[in-house]
């Protein structure tokens, strides 16, 4: 059964806008609700939603890897790319939930973004090579590469700006929170939609192949 990608895309985006709006829920009305939707907080609804999205990308990547193995549609290196892609997003999901990057900030004098940025850069180059050079599926390339760029803009650029100009005025700090988390969530959704479309395509190939055998 194919995933209704367009409907899911609109639903996930709608949830993002709700979460971004709830960030501004007045603390004076309810500090509990405010904390549960604070984009700069931990162990709350936005963190859970981001973790689920990231893990969904990892899971859909592993499904693509499995379908590629069944269909024998792609060569070994292309299949291994999806396996590695899923592994990286599984780590992203773990990092989002457990805040692993904060261990770097606490135990070293180096800001975590200066360690993550080169690694993310390498990951992006590998993705660009496989999706833009070795692959001729423009839809897949546009969704995933575009999503990666938007995600990186939120996760690294916004954090870097905040680090350079710290402390930001309170109003600008709130804008930075919304910009950072919003871009990360939207970027992840775009990547997920690309993966789901690819899994739908491969599922169709496998299904047709199985029908011919019957």
pLDDT at 73 over 80: no
Identify the residue with better confidence: 125 or 212.
125
pLDDT confidence bin for 213, thresholds 50/70/90: low
- Looking at mean pLDDT, say which of 104-113, 188-197, 199-208 comes out highest: 188-197
Show me where the domains of the chain are located: 50-213
Looking at the chain, the whole-number percentage of residues with pLDDT higher than 70 is 92
pLDDT at 155 over 80: no
Output the pLDDT for position 188. Answer: 97
Q: What pTM was computed for the model? A: 0.91
Output the pLDDT for position 99. Answer: 86
pLDDT tens per residue, range 110-154: 888 788 889 989 999 999 999 988 888 899 999 999 999 999 888
DSSP character for 208?
A: H
pLDDT at 89 over 60: yes
pLDDT tens per residue, range 19-31: 999 999 998 899 9
Nearest to 85 by CA among 198, 206, 200, 202: 198
Name, in order, each residue with C-beta under 8 angstroms of 159's C-beta and a sequence gap of 6 or more.
113, 180
pLDDT at 214 over 60: no
In angstroms, the CA 182 to CA 164 distance is: 20
In angstroms, the CA 202 to CA 83 distance is: 15
pLDDT confidence bin for 16, thresholds 50/70/90: very high
Place of tokens 């995600």: 151
Looking at the chain, the whole-number percentage of residues with pLDDT higher than 90 is 57
Alpha helices for 23-75 (secondary structure H):
31-36, 45-71
pLDDT confidence bin for 17, thresholds 50/70/90: very high
- Calculate the average pLDDT of the chain: 88
pLDDT confidence bin for 10, thresholds 50/70/90: very high
In angstroms, the CA 6 to CA 148 distance is: 19
Exposure b/e, 77-101, CB count within 10 A at least 16 = b: eebebbebbbebbbebbebbbeeeb
């Amino acid at each position: 059964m194919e995933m209704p990608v367009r409907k899911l895309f609109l639903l996930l985006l709608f949830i993002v806008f709700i979460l971004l709006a709830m960030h501004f829920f007045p603390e004076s009305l309810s500090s509990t609700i405010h904390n549960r939707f604070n984009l700069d907080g931990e162990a709350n609804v936005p963190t859970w939603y981001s973790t689920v999205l990231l893990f969904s990308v990892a899971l859909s990547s592993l499904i693509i890897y499995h379908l590629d193995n069944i269909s024998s549609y792609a060569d070994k290196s292309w299949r291994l790319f999806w396996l590695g892609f899923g592994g990286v997003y599984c780590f992203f999901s773990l990092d989002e939930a457990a805040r692993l990057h904060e261990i770097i900030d606490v135990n070293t004098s180096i800001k975590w973004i200066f360690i993550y940025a080169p690694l993310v850069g390498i990951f992006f180059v590998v993705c660009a090579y496989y999706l833009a050079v070795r692959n001729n599926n423009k839809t897949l390339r546009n969704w995933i590469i575009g999503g990666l760029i938007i995600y990186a803009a939120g996760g690294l650029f916004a954090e870097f700006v905040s680090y350079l100009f710290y402390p930001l005025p309170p109003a600008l700090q709130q804008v930075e929170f919304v910009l950072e988390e919003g871009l990360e969530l939207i970027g992840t959704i775009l990547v997920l939609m690309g993966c789901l479309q690819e899994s739908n395509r491969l599922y169709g190939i496998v299904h047709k192949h199985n029908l011919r055998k019957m």
